[in-house]
Structure 1
Amino acid sequence: MTAYQMLVAVHVLVGVVALVTFWTAGLLRKGTPAHRTTGRVYLLAMVGIVLTGAPMAAVRWIDGHTVTAAFLAYLVVITSTGVWVSWRAVRDKSAPGRFVGPVYVALGALSLAAGAGVLALGIRSGAPLLMGFSAVGLFTGVDMLRRRLRRATFAKTPRWWMTQHYTAMIGNGIATHIAFLGIGLPRLLPWANGTALHYLAWFGPLAVAIVAKAILDRRWKPRPAAEPRASVPRTQGA
C-alpha cells in the first residue's frame, strides 16, 4: 500500500466516523451530555477529514487532476469553516465580539474566494455542478463578512450562538454527505454509480440542508418583536 493509499484509507475511516456521529448527535436531545460528547467526536472526525483531505487535494493537483483537486480543496475550505464556526459559537456564546474576530473574518474571506474560484472553474470547464455548488462558499463568505460588519447588532441577537452552531453543523453535514455519496459510495458499490447518483450526491444533501435549516429556524431563530399597536384616541363624548 502506497503512502497515498494509506492517506485515503485514513480519510475514509474518519469519514465513516463523521457520518455516524453526525446523525447520532443530530437525533439526540440537544444540550444533553450524550449530544455534546457525540458532537465533539464528530468535530474531531471532521478535523481528521480536513487534515487528510488537504494533502489529497495537493496530490491530485500534482497529478494533473485539476478539477478533482479544486473540488477537494473547496471541501476542505468550507469544512474547516463549518467546524470552526460550530465549535466557537458554543465556546464564545458569552462573547460574540470575540466570535466574529480575525479568524472568523479570515475564514469568511477564504470561503468567498474559494466559492468564486469554483464558480470560475465551473464556467471554464462547462461543469454546471461546480457552478451550482459554488453557491455554498459564496453565500457563506458573504454572510460571515456581513455579520462582521454588523457585529454590534449581531451581539444583541438572542440565542445567536445556537443559530450559528446548527447552521454550521448543517453545512458540515452537506460536506460529509457529498463526500460519501459522490466519492465513497461509488467505490463501495460500483454498480450503483451513474448519472442519477452523481446528481443526487451533489444536490441531494444541499436540498435536505435547506429544508432542515428552515425547520430549525422556525423553531429556534429569534423573531423580531411585534411593534406595539398605536392606541386610537377617544373623541370627546364618545
Structure 2
Amino acid sequence: MAGYSVFVALHIAGGAVALAAFWSAALLRKGSPAHRLVGRGYLLAMLAVIASGVPLTAQRLIDGHPVGATFLAYLLLLVSTSVWLSWRAIRDRQDPSAYLGRVYGVLAYANPLAGLAVLALGIDRGQPLLTGFSLVGVMVGVDMLRRRRVIPTQPRWWLEEHYSAMVANGAATHIAFLAIGLPRLLPVLQGQGWYYAGWFAPVLLAIVAKAWLNRRFRLPAGGTAQTSPSLSQPSPVPRL
C-alpha cells in the first residue's frame, strides 16, 4: 500500500502523544483550562490513531492475514466507541436524548456482535488473545444497553459516562504501549507472559479504576452529593 510507512509513523506518533496527554490530563485539576486543553489534545491524538489504523488494517487483509485484520478492526471499533462516548458525554451533557441517539444505539449493538464474532474466530483458530479479549466488546455493549435505561434518571449522568470512557481510553493507550511498543524498545520483555500481561492487565486495572470512580462520584437515585467546583463544571471538548 502506497504510504504505508507514513500511516505507521502517524499511528505511533498519535499513540505516543495520547499516552503523554492521558497522564497529563489525569494529573491536572479537573475542569481547569489546562485540563481542557490537554483533553482536546488527547482526543485529537486518538483520532489520529484511529484514522491511521484503518489503512493498517486494510494492509493486513491485503497481505493475506484475515485473522489479524479482523482483530485490528475489532480493536478500532472498541477505541472508536470509547473516544466517541468521552466526547459526546460532555458535548451533550444538557441533552441526554441526543447522546443516546442513533450512533449510541449502533455502537451498543455493534460491540457485542463484534465481540461474539471475535470469540468464534478465537475458538476456531485456537487464539487465546482473541478468545479472551472478545469479552471486552460484549461487556461494553451490555453496559451501554444498561446505561441507556439508567441515564435519563441521573442528573449528572454525563460525568460517569465521561470518566468511564476515559478509563477505557486509558486502557487502550496502555495496551498499545505495554504489549506492542515497550517490547520493541526492550527485547527482554518479548516473552509470552509479558505479552498477555500487556493486553489484559490494563483491562483489569480499568475495571478497578471505574469501580473506584463510581464509589467516589456516582449519585444515588434522587440524591445529592458534594462536588468540587471543578467537577460541577464540565470540561468542554472540541466540536470535532
TM-score (norm 2): 0.88
Q: Extract unaligned runs of 5+ from structure 2.
A: 224-240
Letter in 1 for 2:42: Y
For residues 111-190 of structure 1, the aligned pairs below 5 Å read 111-148=111-148, 150=149, 153-190=150-187
CA RMSD of aligned residues (A): 1.7
Q: Which has the larger radius of gyration?
A: 1
- 1:97 to 2:97 alignment: yes
Instruction: Mark the runs of 5 or more structure 1 residues left unpaired by the alignment.
Output: 227-238
Question: What amino acid maps onto 1:31 in structure 2?
Answer: G
Quote the residue 1:3 is aligned against: 3
Number of paired residues? Answer: 223
Aligned partner of residue 155 in structure 1, secondary structure: helix
- Find 2:188's aligned residue among 186, 191, 199: 191
Per-residue displacement from partner, 1:131-172 (whole Å, max 9, x unpaired)? 221111111112223433x2xx52121310000000011111
Query: What's the CA shift for 1:15?
Result: 0.5
Question: CA-to-partner distance for each residue in 1:10-35, whole Å, 9 max, x for gaps?
Answer: 10011100000011111111111111
Q: What one-letter code is carried by the residue in structure 2 that aligns with 1:120? A: A
Mapping of residues 1-238 of structure 1, within 5 Å: 3-148=3-148, 150=149, 153-224=150-221
CA offsets 1:70-125 (integer angstroms, 9 cap, x no match)? 22111110111111100000011110011000011112222122211211111111
Given that 2:115 and 2:137 are in contact with CA atoms closer than 8 Å, whether structure 1 keeps it comes out as: yes
Say which is worse superposed, 185-194 or 173-182, in terms of deviation.
185-194
The one-letter amino acid of 1:34's match is: A
Query: 82-91 or 3-12: which moved more?
Result: 3-12
Give the C-alpha shift of residue 225 in structure 1. 5.8
1:180 Cα offset (Å)? 1.7
Deviations 1:17-68 (A, max 9, x none): 0000011111111111111111110011000000001110111012122232
> What secondary structure sits across from 2:153 in the alignment?
coil
The answer as to whether partners of 2:108 and 2:142 remain within 8 angstroms in 1 is: yes
List structure 1 runs of 4+ shifted beyond 4 angstroms: none
Higher relative contact order (CA 8 A, sep 6+): 2
Q: Deviations over 1:203-238 (max 9, x none)?
A: 110111111111101101112469xxxxxxxxxxxx
